A and B are shown apart, each in its own frame.
Chain A
Amino acid sequence: MSNREKLLEIDRHNKRNIMQTQDNTQRIFRTYPSGDASCLIDMLQEVQEHFGYLPDLEMQKVARHVDIPVSRVYGVATFYNQFRFQPLGKFVIKVCRGTACHVKGSFSILTTLESELGIKAGQTTKDLLFTIETVACIGACSIAPVIAVNDEFHGGLTTKSLQKLLKSWQRQCTESEVSDECV
């Protein structure tokens, strides 16, 4: 499968997901009275729960529902760290930036990840495979520097072992797609 075909497939997959969640968002809109801006954050949270992030279009719908400008909805959403504006990747890599990890070199772990994947912390790769996030402290200081990938912990990292891990995830992706095709 060429890279382009892969991207197209991922795109189709996402569109299917969006179609499936459409019914659910209608339910969200039904739950909250229209014109009541005090429901804004609750609504945004539910929308994010369904999509994994806040798509522009959904924020526009929410704005219309609670009758405030889209600029204000976006302003509120960007104020809180809990909201994200890009979809999550298949692998969500949380890099611990706590004190212990920092002393043990978590900054170079982060920059290695960023340069290997070509994105910054808080962003998702274009193929929707990887998301990098930073966390204040994961609470696993004894194995610093540590990252958590989809809630699986990898400690005592070096830039070398990190690159190995990355390769194995990339391999996993291609394999799982092949098996998807077989099904």
Chain B
Amino acid sequence: MTTNSHDLDHLLKLTVQNHKLEGILHIAPTESPELIEPSALEAFVIGEGVKSSFINQDAISTLTHLVQADPGLAHEACVARGQPPVSGGDSTLQLEASIQTRIDEIESRRAELEDAVSNEPANPPSQSDSSEAIDFYEMSPFLIVKRGDQICTLIESTEGEDGTDVFGQTIASKDGKPTLSLNDASVHVAQNGSVTALCSGLLTVTPSSVQVSETLQIPHDVDFSTANINFPGDVHIDGGVMDNFKVRATGEVLIRKLVQSSTIEADKCITLEQGMAGKDKGWIIAHGELHAGYLESIHASVAADCKVDHEITNSTISICGELISPGASLRGGEITIAKQCELNIIGSVQGVETTLVLGSLADLQELLSRSGALIAKATHELEAKQSRYEGFAQSIGKPTPAQIEEQMGMEFEISELRLTLSKLEKANQTLLTTLRTRTSPTLHVHRAIYAKSVIYFPGYKAVFHRDLEGESVLAVDENGGPTLMHHDKERPLRDVAKVYRDQRVPLIEQHDNEYRIAA
């Protein structure tokens, strides 16, 4: 037995590989194959320190057969396998299905968008070309979420399970990478891992971060690569805006380069650092202030003040606040302003007809006109009903039950109509007060008002037939009549303009604490 064991020691050799997870038994060529039997091999392997539970009996048996069959050759086989360690899972983000779908859509359309940019047609496809056509203008590449939207779920990392080598020694496992630090102020991570947007905006998801930005920063032009923009926050565009695109923001809009024939709308301020060349189709809707380098052939509605640095040319603009642009020339078009206006030049030496409407709030005037028409209608109706009632009352002696009810009906209608009329008059008075207090028709011009300029004041219209050069201030006196200060001296406006009575902007007078439109 001792001899056999000794002989075997010369024939057998155990090596390990793969981090000692595999034990390889080598058998040298032998002339005594009878010594090679499974139990002897197993005893050898255990004697080498291999844990018995890791020994593969089948492998030993197979190896034994191979040696018996061909003892003149060296043989080897993996006869023991340890337990490999299992690494823990890293922390991951599992996107909500709707978000994932949107990302997939954006990815799948990216090629089409790039195609659209590289092959931008001379006449871009209109939205109404075909109901089945792809509307490239609406293929936004931005993933926008609303406040409260669930974005994803944070899956926590897991611990690894240690392994054991063939000798029974522990092989340390690796734990999963620790929890992602989603500490961005724009998202909330609930205890169950649910990640929710704390604000509306642009969603950016990377394998290790989730962020919602309230500002959409576009480093180039708005074109087919961006499509139309409708963003719940601020939009900053380092480039310009190409023809026919729309940019809408619930915050402010800042555009650094040229805006072409497009539509720009913001709930707050709009700043066009260079300006807009609208080709008569461009639109600006500012629910706050508007500041532009220049404006050419555009339409605009501005809810607050407006400032233009250089020129306003052939544009139609309605401004509910002031237009303070001391360096700007206004040439052609029509500007309506509620409060004071300051410009450098109005009109041009070539006599371009240029219209300025001062002290006007178009929406309020429209409401005033409608309330006036309703008051007239209700008054007429009331007079007719009263006359009918009086005639009816005089025509009956002792009234029948039916006549009593008819009379009551008439009284009721008259009383209801009086109530309606009273409400209308109150509303009308509120409109007149608002119009009077929120407008101030004053014009300050530094260099010139050229002939063919037309300036409307409340109750008046001045059509310039001569150039008025130099510093001038046009305002209204206490009676509402237009006045002119030229080079700090009073001068009759009629010297340079024909002045007409005009109701385009109503002249509101105050009588006994009540406002009314002057006849």
Chain A complexes with chain B: no
| Residues of A in contact with B (beta carbons under 8 Å apart) | none
| Residues of B in contact with A (beta carbons under 8 Å apart) | none
